[in-house]
Structure 1
Amino acid sequence: MLNTWTAFKSLCPKTKQINMKTNQLVIVRHGESEWNKLNLFCGWHDAELSEQGAKDAVNISAAALRESDLKFDIAYSSALTRAKQSLSIILKELNSCDMEVVSDWHLNERHYGNLTGYNKRDVADKYGEEQVQLWRRKFDVLPPPIEKENAYYDCIRKNPNFKDIPTSEFPVTESLKVVMQRVIPYFENVIFKQVLAGKRVLIVAHGTVARALIKHIDKVSDENISTVNVPNSIPCVVEFNMETGEKVGKTTFLADENFLNQQIQKTASIGLSNK
């Protein structure tokens, strides 16, 4: 379970096996979106970054990667605009606009079903904060499926970025468990192979996708994953033994510990504060 957040330097133990070849994977949750700012359940709705989200991509994400001297060969994002915008800003700041970029729907945020478009505080007032936290954080609890009457049903289904998704795989609601069923095979069969081949990989995606990857990589239990919160914009670094595929050292967030803990608490409580 991820209960200790450390500085980047702790990722590199003082003593390593001399001949161990390692490579690092970096995961970034996109910056604040317009719907984050409005406290709305977003999911597969294609919201754009807010002005603050764009600034954070520069001042938090790119700044931390630059300070840690991390460079990349290939970058992955979801098919959603807020992730692609964050990645574009980061690459511009790193002078890496010519890098190969892959956008794929398998890295999309979870589909929040019929909660999509509703204010989180209003939903908590109606159903109770405990129920909302179950929908948000529990491993296998599904929100109500999106209905055709939902104001955002058509724009989600008709998003041209989703045109290649097979009808049978187009979700109407997702839990973290369901998200992992699309994220982890794509990670193992596509992204992780690049990492083990020596490619320096950056992933810019979403909170639930980051939690899915952390659960998989760190072998977090179904119960404990509900306590793992991934803040916006702060890069997360994982190092692997390229020969065995095993993780080396700790999962590390590139931020001052006080700021990191502050942002984690903000993520954990988002949407449930009083109006």
Structure 2
Amino acid sequence: MPRLILLRHGQSQWNLENRFTGWVDVDLTAQGEAEARLGGERIAQAGFRPAVMFTSVLKRARRTGALALQAAGLSDIPIVEDWRLNERHYGGLTGLNKAETAEKHGEDQVRVWRRSYDIPPPPMERGNAWDFAQDPLYAGQPIPDTESLKTTLDRVLPYWDASIAPRLKAGEDVLIVAHGNSLRAIVKHLFAVPDDRIVEVEIPTGNPLEIDLDANLKPTAARYLDEGRATALPALA
């Protein structure tokens, strides 16, 4: 049966600065690089050799994947990048400090924007400094101006169905290196997490989540490879 590992990128510079990052292409911190390497070491210790690594187009995920594969002795693994595995688009919150935003709008409102399933932040205004519609990386793509976790899932799931699931159904092991919310979307789908419970799922940076799947891609077992930094997992069906 296939195995899937989900790896959230290591700490980024804007994680450190407590800013809403979304699609902004920031790099890893030194700590983030160390987390990526440690994640790779844990992958090697688990005897995991994926047939392919899927990642987003953002450098914090791409570099995490490259550092993890290098640490695991798996640098020959094919890599597929796609923007649909990007982090959630934070709309008008992009670039703002989270604590300062909470002071301005109230902690309850910011919690709704950050953690609710289907309520997005305010949309990003066109011409904003972070207007990704002007980025050639997304030329010709349907660029959102904000996203909730629900609309993030709406773009991740078709890519999962078309590109990732067929590899797993063929019996291949797969590594996905992406972001907190794009990975939460995959977890919600796999574990059938209710809308009101997905807010409780938090995937730590740089800690590989190994999921054993049956022939129908239903999880039969799941564990974090670094038990000391594990968070609660959804219940298996």
Alpha-carbon deviations, 1:17-52, whole Å to 9, x = none?
A: xxxxx1101100000111111111000111111111
Is 1:133–2:105 an aligned residue pair? no
Could you tell me how far apart the structure 1 residues matched to 2:56 and 2:109 are?
A: 28
In structure 1, the partner of 2:5 is 26
In structure 1, the partner of 2:24 is 45
Cα drift, residue 212 of structure 1: 0.4
Alpha-carbon deviations, 1:80-132, whole Å to 9, x = none?
A: 11100101111111222221100001101010001001000000001111111
Gaps of 5+ in 2: 233-237
Could you tell me how far apart the structure 2 residues matched to 1:180 and 1:147 are?
A: 23
Cα RMSD for the two superposed structures: 1.4
In structure 2, the partner of 1:170 is 143
Could you tell me how far apart the structure 1 residues matched to 2:151 and 2:171 are?
A: 30
In structure 1, the partner of 2:180 is 207
| Partner amino acid, structure 2, of 1:246 | K
Q: Based on CA coordinates, which of the two structures has the bigger radius of gyration?
A: 1
Cα drift, residue 135 of structure 1: 0.7
Number of matched residues? 232
Match of 2:36 among 57, 67, 70: 57
**Contact 1:28/1:234, CA 8 A, preserved across alignment:** yes
**Contact 2:23/2:89, CA 8 A, preserved across alignment:** yes
* Secondary structure, counterpart of 2:128 in structure 1: coil
Match of 1:245 among 204, 217, 220: 217
* Secondary structure, counterpart of 2:2 in structure 1: strand
In structure 1, the partner of 2:69 is 91
In structure 1, the partner of 2:168 is 195
Is 1:259–2:229 an aligned residue pair? yes
Could you tell me how far apart the structure 2 residues matched to 1:185 and 1:149 are?
A: 29
| Partner amino acid, structure 2, of 1:76 | F
Cα drift, residue 171 of structure 1: 0.7
Cα drift, residue 164 of structure 1: 4.6
* Secondary structure, counterpart of 1:150 in structure 2: coil
**Contact 1:79/1:162, CA 8 A, preserved across alignment:** no
TM-score for the superposition, normalised by structure 2: 0.93
* Secondary structure, counterpart of 2:15 in structure 1: helix
Alpha-carbon deviations, 1:112-171, whole Å to 9, x = none?
A: 001001000000001111111111111001100001353322xx3333332352xxx211
In structure 1, the partner of 2:159 is 186
In structure 2, the partner of 1:7 is none
Match of 1:230 among 177, 187, 203: 203
Could you tell me how far apart the structure 2 residues matched to 1:158 and 1:82 are?
A: 20
Cα drift, residue 209 of structure 1: 0.8
Cα drift, residue 237 of structure 1: 1.2
Could you tell me how far apart the structure 2 residues matched to 1:201 and 1:139 are?
A: 27
Match of 2:137 among 118, 139, 161: 161
Cα drift, residue 226 of structure 1: 1.0
What percent of counterpart residues are identical? Answer: 37
Is 1:103–2:81 an aligned residue pair? yes
* Secondary structure, counterpart of 2:24 in structure 1: coil
In structure 2, the partner of 1:143 is 121
TM-score for the superposition, normalised by structure 1: 0.81
Match of 2:97 among 115, 119, 132: 119
* Secondary structure, counterpart of 2:118 in structure 1: coil
